Amino acid sequence: MTFMDFEKPLEALYEQLEKLREVGEKGELDVTQMMRELESKIKAKRKEIYTGLSGWQKVQLSRHPERPYTLYYVTTICKKFIELHGDRYAGDDHAIVGGLA
């Protein structure tokens, strides 16, 4: 998972959660209660971070490299999709996708 700079507190919490999962999978301790508490902390921190985003932070999230793109949805939904391409003058605009399904 890739985190933005303003999401660093979430990254630390997710790392702790992953360590707890590893301990739980080994069967050394029962960590279910600790995992629930950590998951609730993650949920609260996520709400705190995302409710106070600046304009630039919203732009960063919209351009996140792991965010799915339109063609991902189209190829998942449609079995045979034929994409129509540019206008022969300016070329393809990757922000606009059109075609036949």
Cβ count within 10 A of residue 10: 19
pLDDT digits (tens, 9 = 90+) for 1-47: 788 889 999 999 999 999 988 888 887 778 888 999 999 999 999 99
pLDDT value, residue 68: 86
What torsion do the CA atoms of 59, 63, 65, 66 make, to the nearest 10 degrees?
80
pLDDT value, residue 84: 85
pLDDT value, residue 91: 75
Pair of tokens at residue 81: 């999709």
pLDDT value, residue 50: 92
Kind of pairing between the strands at 82-84 and 98-100: antiparallel
pLDDT digits (tens, 9 = 90+) for 36-48: 999 999 999 999 9
Give DSSP secondary structure letters for 3-59: --GGGHHHHHHHHHHHHHHHHHHHTSS--HHHHHHHHHHHHHHHHHHHHT--HHHHH
pLDDT digits (tens, 9 = 90+) for 48-100: 999 989 999 999 998 888 888 888 889 899 989 988 887 777 777 777 888 88
Phi then psi dihedrals of residue 76, to 5 deg: -75, -40
pLDDT value, residue 92: 77
